[in-house]
Structure 1
């Protein structure tokens, strides 16, 4: 087993670049996964690991077998090296290097004949993206599609805030135009969460192939989505404000669709 005890090691410096720079993650087709739960979910989600680095001070070597990895290089690192690579303050002592997946629309495979899809247009905050992915996992939707993404899916903040649900969902990205065209070709009804010309969300039938589309709290959805919406929907507000956090709104809408489908 290889050992690395210097933070100045060339390979460690390369991994730091992967952690910090989206450009490097895209260029190398690799990213870092921190934590046992997240690594386990990535393996279960079909992600290929190349390397596992662990600090025995934090993660004893006898725990490695619990990860159920296969054909992976193992590297023992010092606590100082591990902390150089770690993104979280509270940490478990194990990090994996994994290969990116393809997230084109053509790579989507739906689990059922009448799919339920969550679409988010231009979400900016990694925390919101992570929360949307947790909601999608909880509802076991067929796919999450991100239109005009502002950051890559393997940003450490997204992995952390999604609690690994970036690995459990079927995810695609594309432009708004590409996604609308895709949904139309697949005969999937588009329901946009918007204030304009909207009706209460619970009055609609979500048992047919359905895409629920949410935008940012600041700007909402672009005109293209509203133009192609089968029906704009709204969550009736009874307080003083007229909007809520995008992940909360998405959860309400998605679970109404699941209720109508008898949670199937």
Structure 2
């Protein structure tokens, strides 16, 4: 295991570039994972871990087991001086391992749907925290897929992974365009329910989500674009009692999706 103490080490320079630059993640087809649990989720989902970085300080049993597992897989291992390791971590007091992994492709045509699927679609989400929270929601309900159209943020942004608590790795995800997803839904006979403020919108509890269903949500500032309203089979809303007319996008998605689960369990 190589010991590294300098920020000028070429390995560290590459690591920091992958942390900070979406363009470089795309060029190298790599991304950074922080945390033992998150690395384990990535391994379970079939991601290829290429390098592991650990602290020279005390390591928990989980970290030691991870190191042994990756050693058996002939992954490149590095032990970092404590100040250097902490400088690379967002969670400086709890992180014991960092990794560089190979990205996956997320094509719409590779999604493998079950019979009578339940899908969440997010149009042009921008905030990494919201994307991560949507991934956690999809994982929590064991929904069939998260589809992101016209994405404005790199899926492998460290803040997306961190806010998803590693759930980004455990769910099927597709990145695509609005036009492609409309064709996909029609060809698979999946009804589209769009969360939109319109005159024909009904409260989400009044709709039937027991058939093949896709629920679409838009960005908090602009909502869904006009094309979604035109292509939707149904418009749905969450009745608001306060002065505000909207919820955080991940909260709204969770409310609607778990109503769908409730209906399907009856």
- Is TM > 0.5 for Structure 1 vs Structure 2? yes
Aligned residues: CA RMSD? 1.6
Greater alpha carbon shift after TM alignment, 64-73 vs 154-163 = 64-73
* Cα 1:63/1:218, change in 2 over 3 Å: closer
Aligned to 1:253: 256
1:4/1:77 contact within 8 Å kept: yes
SS of 1:166 mapped into structure 2: helix
Deviation at residue 61 of structure 1 after TM alignment? 8.5
1:4/1:78 contact within 8 Å kept: yes
**Residue 212 (structure 1) aligned with residue 250 (structure 2):** no
SS of 1:261 mapped into structure 2: helix
The structure 2 residue matched to 1:161, chosen from 160, 163, 175, is: 163
Deviation at residue 32 of structure 1 after TM alignment? 0.7
Deviation at residue 71 of structure 1 after TM alignment? 3.0
Task: Tell me how far apart the structure 2 counterparts of residues 131 and 58 of structure 1 sit (CA, whole Å).
Answer: 31
Aligned to 1:118: 120
Aligned to 2:20: 20
The structure 1 residue matched to 2:108, chosen from 105, 108, 124, is: 105
Task: Tell me how far apart the structure 1 counterparts of residues 95 and 58 of structure 2 sit (CA, whole Å).
Answer: 6
1:59/1:92 contact within 8 Å kept: no
Gaps of 5+ in 2: none
**Residue 141 (structure 1) aligned with residue 143 (structure 2):** yes
Task: Tell me how far apart the structure 1 counterparts of residues 61 and 26 of structure 2 sit (CA, whole Å).
Answer: 31
Aligned to 1:226: 229
1:58/1:79 contact within 8 Å kept: no
Aligned to 2:2: 2
- Alignment size in residue pairs: 262
Task: Tell me how far apart the structure 1 counterparts of residues 138 and 210 of structure 2 sit (CA, whole Å).
Answer: 17
SS of 2:192 mapped into structure 1: strand
Deviation string 1:158-208 (CA, Å, 9 cap, x unpaired) is 111111111111111111111111111211110000011201111111111
Task: Tell me how far apart the structure 2 counterparts of residues 88 and 65 of structure 1 sit (CA, whole Å).
Answer: 21
Aligned to 1:183: 185
Query: TM-score if structure 1 supplies the norm length?
Result: 0.94
Aligned to 1:72: 75
